[in-house]
Amino acid sequence: MQQQQHQQPEIFQENIDYSIKVPKRILSTTSNYIPVSSNLGHAVKVPLGAIIKPLAVPKENEEDVCVVQPGAAGIVRCKR
């Protein structure tokens, strides 16, 4: 009899730089704080939303926004 080897799936871990600040003209959210878990989000019932303008023209004397590669996780999309 041949034994089947059970391989553990690789765990994807991406390094995220939380120090990045996005200008309000590009990203505006309905809340300044985001719940850390879905349970907390359901408990507080704060509507979360965002207005995103990725192609906004930079203002005078302002740096252009860097392009970010999404990595192995792929493009983040909304689920409906």
- Does 52 score more than 70 pLDDT? yes
37-50 tens-digit pLDDT:
888 888 988 788 88
List helix spans (H) across 1-80: 38-44
Average pLDDT estimate for 57-78: 75
Tokens read off for 46: 């704060």
Question: Phi then psi for 25, rounded to 5 degrees?
Answer: -70, -20
Q: What pLDDT score was predicted for residue 4?
A: 57
